[in-house]
Structure formats: structure tokens, C-alpha cells
Structure 1
Amino acid sequence: MPHPSAQAPCAAVMVRPLRFHPNPETAADNAFQSRSAQTRDAIARSADAEVTAASAQLQAAGVRVHLFDDTGERDAPDAVFPNNWFSTHAGGHVALYPMFAESRRRERRADVIEMLKAEYRVQDVIDYSGLEQDGMFLEGTGAMVLDHIARVAYTAQSNRANPVALERFCTHFNYEPMAFATADAQGRPCYHTNVMLCIGTDFALGGFHLISDPARRQAVRDRLAESGRALVELSAQQIGDFAGNALELSGAQGRVLALSARAAASLTAEQKAVIERSAALLPLAVPTIELAGGSVRCMLAGIHLARR
């Protein structure tokens, strides 16, 4: 079994949505969102089933999953993506984040934080959500892809990653900010870093071609390679298939890379071989969830806390 890794948590929070649908409020800057001919009720039922099945597969692999149901008290179509509004950190720290879209601010839940305090050793909760009043946003581990080992916060510049908020987070949590501009073939920036970059213990999957400045692109590659990681370069098509939106977790038999079935199918045999030297692939079928412009990594809020 591979050694324990600070990069790969053994537990995660998931939220089973009640009224899931692609959020029109977030579509303006999320190029990954899609339309569907299904009725909204049919979409919601499919999303519910996908989260239920994904949670069961993760638990079967030995990952502890804390599965919450969306209460439906407030309309929160993106509730299935909890990694954007909170994150957890070794040493007992929790962060709450300011969200760009008003509808997404309704996703924050006291019961999730109370569960963390009851089940894990939580020293403090740092709440950045008040920055919303100042028009500053930082959408958690969507906006930042964190290298928990080398302490670097890789961040694609966007509406959802304010540089002042990023600096505050990095100062509080002892990360080095590494921000960069991105653009797809149509010139649109990546709305979240975690759709283009996944950092595992021994590998990193990246759509490095999206980093606009060639010198900055090379600096990001070099920084990841310095840590001894093998770099897996993802094509534009693979990024569109959510191959960058994956999360390494620790399971009963070692590390696994949780990613969507669509993402796994897009990887080449050579790319899979690099990943599988360190982590077993764990494909999860979430085609309905992906209509909202996020995939498996967005669905998982990793828990980097010690159990009580």
C-alpha cells in the first residue's frame, strides 16, 4: 500500500442535490455548462441518482463519505459542489469562502461545519464570506488547486479568484500564491482552476496550454516538476471532457483518483499508466452533474483533518 499522503484525504463531504439544474446565473463565465432537453424534474432525479451511486462507489473503495442531503429550504442549484464554499486543512483549520454568484451563497450550511467539529479536530474556522460585500470572491478549491505538500496555491485568474482574497488566504494558511492568466480557444478564461489542473501525490494533470503567457506556463510546469511529480499534459478536448477535474483520495487499498467516467474514457493508455503508478483510477458516472459545468472533483470537499 502506498504511504499516506497529505495530498490525498481519506474522507470527503458530498451533497445530494434536491433541485439540481444548470444554473443560469453562473453560465455567463462558465464555458463548461451545457443545455439539456430533459425537464428540470428529470434532471434533478438523475443528479440525485448519480450522487447516490458515486458516494456508494467511493465508500466501497474505502473512502469515508459524509453525504448530506440538500434541504431544499433555499434554492441552491449548485449545492452538489460543496468544495467551493469551504475547505479543511491539516492542523484543524477550516475556511469559508466568498462566492461570486448570489445563488451560490445559499449553499453554506452550519450543519456541515458542526459535523466537522463533532467528528474531527477543528481548531478554528476562518470566514472570508464577508468579502462578498466588498465584491471580492475566492471560490475555495475550485478557484485554487492546492499543493498541500509544497504549500503552493495554483490559481487561474477569474471573476471567482480575487487577488486580495487569495493573498489573505495564503497568508493565513501558509501557502505561496501562484496565479496565472488563462484563455481557451475562444479567448475565455477558465472559471475555476480545478477544471484545468489536478495535483496528486506523484503526478499532476494539467491543461497547461490554457496558461496564456509562455513564461508563466513554463514556471507552473517547472514548479510542479520540482516536487518530483510526473506531468500529464491534457489536450483541449480532454479538458472539455473534465479530465482535469479529478481528486486523489486515500482508500482502503491505497490511493485512488476519483474522476468522471467521461474523463477516464478521454485519457490515453500512456496517461493512465502514469497515474496508475501511484493511484488506481476510480471512474464515476456523473453525466447529468456535468451539465452544470463541474465534475467529480467539484463534488468532493476533501477532509484534511484528524479524526476525534
Structure 2
Amino acid sequence: MAEQITNTILMIRPVAFRMNEETAVNNYFQEDLAIKNSEINTKAQAEFDAFVKKLRAVGVNVIVEHDDLKMDTPDSIFPNNWVSFHANGTVGLYPMFAENRRRERREEVIDRLESEGFYIEGYMDYSSAEDEGYFLEGTGSLLLDRVNNIAYCALSARADEDLVIEFCEDFDCMPVIFTANQTVEGKRLPIYHTNVMMALAENFAVICLDTIDDKQEKKNVISHLKNSGKEIIKISEAQMHQFAGNMLQVKGSENKYMVMSLAAHKSLNNDQIKAIEKHCEILSSDLETIETCGGGSARCMMAEVFLPKS
């Protein structure tokens, strides 16, 4: 039986974190902080370390790999965009929109998982699509319902429809494709990653339905979520901008947790918190610097490991 959530998470500790100028062109969540990059990185490291400590304290198996300073990869803290690890032993490698993010795909990260006792059967490598100007940024773009074999994807400059369909053919799942928009200076523009407007847990989904402007597409998403037994917990666009859609459910040693940033947690109202806590506990951590400069939050920082043990 496929599992929706895992106890093992890969995280990359940053060494050169800053606002990535190459991703800012279509990540409207990013903001520049008026402090030195070295200071931004130091703050991000402190937030990262505190977050890892909280996850480990509840029994989540966090594998921390360090970034390589020579690579100059400001977004390496978000590994779920370039790699995914599947229960059949497959590793997915993905084409990245920003050139400096392509350097994040490092063999030593994969080697580390093998050294931790995980078995890799083979690779599904889509990264050559970069050469043609097509992108699909891993589980940032693809929200996988692993139990019901559905891949939800909001199309954007970082999520190409043909690649979504190719992925679904390779991994034997059904695509649910739509467009999600946010308001930027009065215009409706595509949200860069699906996982900032939607999170899938075992029995529920947190989703900003207001971002799906097309009524038919919205209906289709709701119908698939309901038919697969997910309780729908709606969030507003304002809450989405506090990263309330960027959550991930994980297994601890005793309990299950919906993991999110402190900003996301604070943005939720009592009814939303109760709805989540019906299913699992909430674990939150302060990620303010990472969110502000990186335009990503807790979920983006965690690459789930479903690989079998060798």
C-alpha cells in the first residue's frame, strides 16, 4: 500500500543563501532585505538549524546535507524542486527555470542517501528539457497524491504541461492541471509553484481556491480532492502570502505533524487550526529570513524520502 507521508526528510543547509535575482522575475513572494548577504545567510542558517532541531525533537528522521560554497547556489535550501525520491526506488531529477539553480543537482546528495542505507533502483531524469526552455520544478510544481495516484499541478513558467503529462505517464498517475493566479500590482499572474497555494496531507488538503480563477478548473480540483477522501481546508490569498499553503505532513516517532512556518501558523484562524488538529498536530518554526528572501517556506525546504531501505 502506497503511503502519503514519510518519516524521512532530506534538507540542505545553506552556505550562500540570499535573494536569488534569477528567480525573482516570477516568484512574487520574494523581497530584498536591506542587509548584507553574509548576514542574510547567517540568519537563514540559524532558522534552518532551529527548524531541524524541532523536527528531530519529535522523531522526524532529518538527513542534513551541506551546500557547497563553490557552487554559488542561493536557493539550495529548497531541494524538493530538483529531486524527488519514490517508494519504487526511483529518483526524479527535474529541469530548473533559473540557471543558477541547475547547479543544485549534485551527485553527492544522492550518494548521501545511499550511504544512509536507502536503495536506488534508477533515475527518471527530465533535466534535459532545460535545453529547450521547458521546466518542471519537482514537488514544488507537482503535488502528489501518492495513495490515489494523482498529480496536481498549477501551470506556470516553471511547470510545463507536456512535462507534467510525461511525468504522469512515467509514474502512472493522473494529471489534474489548472492555473493558479495571484494579484501583483493589479494584475492576475501565475503563482510560481503549486505548493505555495496547496498542501496535500493523508486525509485533508489545505488550499487557496481563490487563486483558481477558472470555474471549471476549480470544480475539477475540488471534485478530485473530495473523491479521494480529502477534507478541504480553505485559506485566503492573504494567508497564502504568509505561506499558509506551503505545509507538509510528516511522521514523527509517536505522532503525525503538519509542518509549517511560524508566519503560516499565526495567519490561520481558530477554525482552520481545529480542522488541521483533528487530523494531526501542528509543528511550526520561525523562517522569516528564508521566506522573505527565498520566497519559499517550510515545505520547500523538505525533500521527502520514500526510497526503500537496502
The TM tier, using the shorter chain, reads over 0.9
Number of the residue aligned with 1:307 = 309
Which residue matches 1:295?
Answer: 297
Query: Which residue of structure 1 aligns with residue 124 of structure 2?
Result: 126
Output the CA distance in 2 between the equivalents of 1:254 and 1:91: 25
Aligned residue in 2 for 1:17: 14
| Other structure's SS at 1:33 match | coil
Asked if structure 2 preserves the Cα contact closer than 8 Å seen for 1:22 and 1:33, the reply is: yes
**Structure 1 residue 130: Cα displacement:** 1.1
Q: Distance in 2 between matches of 1:34 and 1:156?
A: 23
Aligned equivalent of 1:80: 77
- Counterpart of 2:83, as a letter, is F
What is the 5 A alignment of 1:138-177?
138-177=136-175
Equivalent in the alignment of 1:260: 261
Q: Partners of 1:133 and 1:106 in 2: how far apart?
A: 14
User: Once the two structures are superposed, what CA deviation does each residue of 1:269-291 show, in whole Å capped at 9, x if it has no partner?
Assistant: 11111111111100011101102
Deviations 1:130-149 (CA, angstroms, capped at 9, x unpaired): 11111111000001111111
Whole-Å Cα distance in 1 between the matches of residues 166 and 108 of structure 2? 26
Q: CA RMSD in A?
A: 1.2
Given that 1:5 and 1:201 are in contact with CA atoms closer than 8 Å, whether structure 2 keeps it comes out as no
How many residues align? The count is 305
Residues 1:30 and 2:27 aligned together: yes
Q: Which amino acid aligns with 1:205?
A: V
Equivalent residue of 2:97, what SS?
Answer: coil
Compute the displacement of 1:5 (Å): 7.4
For each residue in 1:99-141, what CA deviation from the matched residue of structure 2 results, as whole angstroms up to 9, or x when unmatched?
Answer: 0110100111101111223321221111111111111110000
CA contact (8 A) 2:94 2:126 kept: yes
Q: Which residue of the partner structure matches residue 66 of structure 1?
A: 63
Equivalent-residue separation in structure 2 for 1:5 and 1:123 (angstroms)? 17
| Per-residue Cα deviation, 1:162-219 (whole angstroms, up to 9, x for no partner) | 1121111111111111110122233111100000000000110001110121111011
Q: Which shows bigger deviation, 200-209 or 127-136?
A: 127-136
What residue number does 1:92 align with? 89
Percent identity, aligned pairs only? 39
Distance 1:175 1:103 in 2: 30
Q: Which residue of 2 aligns with 1:219?
A: 220
Which runs of 4 or more aligned residues in structure 1 lie more than 3 Å from their structure 2 counterparts after TM superposition?
none
1:244 deviation in Å?
0.3
Which residue, 73, 81, 102 being the options, matches 1:105?
A: 102
TM-score between both structures, scaled by the size of structure 2: 0.96
For residues 242-265 of structure 1, what are the alpha-carbon distances to aligned partners after superposition, in whole Å with 9 as ceiling and x for unaligned? 000010001111211110000011
Cα distance between partner residues in 2 of 1:178 and 1:225: 13
**1:86 offset after TM fit, Å?**
0.3
Instruction: Give, in whole Å, the separation in 2 of the partners of 1:288 and 1:279.
Output: 27
Letter in 2 for 1:116: L
Offset at 1:155? Answer: 0.5
Worse-superposed segment, 88-97 or 292-301: 88-97
Question: What's the offset of the Cα at 1:307?
Answer: 2.2
**CA distance in 1: counterparts of 2:223 and 2:169, whole angstroms:** 23
Secondary structure of the residue that 2:190 maps to in structure 1?
Answer: coil
Read off the aligned partner of 1:77 and give its amino acid letter: P
Structure 1 residue aligned with 2:207: 206
- Secondary structure in 2 aligned to 1:231? strand
Q: Residue 123 of structure 1 aligns to which amino acid in structure 2?
A: E
Q: What does the per-residue CA deviation read over 1:36-68, in whole Å, with 9 as the maximum and x for residues that have no partner?
A: 122111101000111111111111111101101
Contact 2:2–2:146 at 8 Å: present in 1 too? no
- Whichever residue aligns with residue 131 of structure 2, its letter is Q
What amino acid maps onto 1:137 in structure 2?
Answer: F
CA distance in 1, matches of 2:7, 2:189: 35
- Say whether the 8 Å CA contact 1:91–1:305 is kept in structure 2: yes
TM-score, scaled to structure 1:
0.97
